[in-house]
Amino acid sequence: MNKTLGTSSNKIYEYAASGLPVLLFDNAHFRNHLGQYKWAFFTDCTYESLIVNLEEIILNYPTLSNQARLDFEDKLNFENFIHPVIVYLQNIQIQK
């Protein structure tokens, strides 16, 4: 995934929508956009970092899975962002 991330970054959100915690390369971009989510785990890709993150995911999988789905439904899906645009366009149409 690291090789295709530039063209497939939506995979992160697809995984969250499916209730999957995600491992992300620890950089400023990912931390800035996804650092507030408990299901987002940051790694420098060392063995130690991966093991720590995987153990945390395994121990808390039911909670993390549920939170990932809820965060996607409440905050991260396309409908949440397009709805205000649709309302705005409908209001313009009504005014005409």
Average pLDDT over residues 16-25: 94
Residue 21 exposed, middle or buried by CB count within 10 Å (0-12, 13-18, 19+): buried
Confidence of residue 8 (pLDDT cuts 50, 70, 90): low
Q: Smallest Cα–Cα separation from 69: which of 8, 15, 13, 17?
A: 17
Q: pLDDT for 60-81, tens place per residue?
A: 999 999 999 999 999 988 777 7
- Domain with 25 in it: 5-95
Stretch 77-94: mean pLDDT: 81
> Which residue's structure tokens are 């993150």?
53
| Number of structural domains found in the chain | 1
Is the Cβ–Cβ distance between 47 and 64 less than 8 Å?
Answer: no
Record the tokens describing residue 55, joined without a space: 């153990």
Distance of CA 10 to the CA centre of its chain: 8
pLDDT for position 79? 78
Please determine, for residue 89, whether its predicted confidence score (pLDDT) is greater than 60. Answer: yes
pLDDT value at residue 67: 98
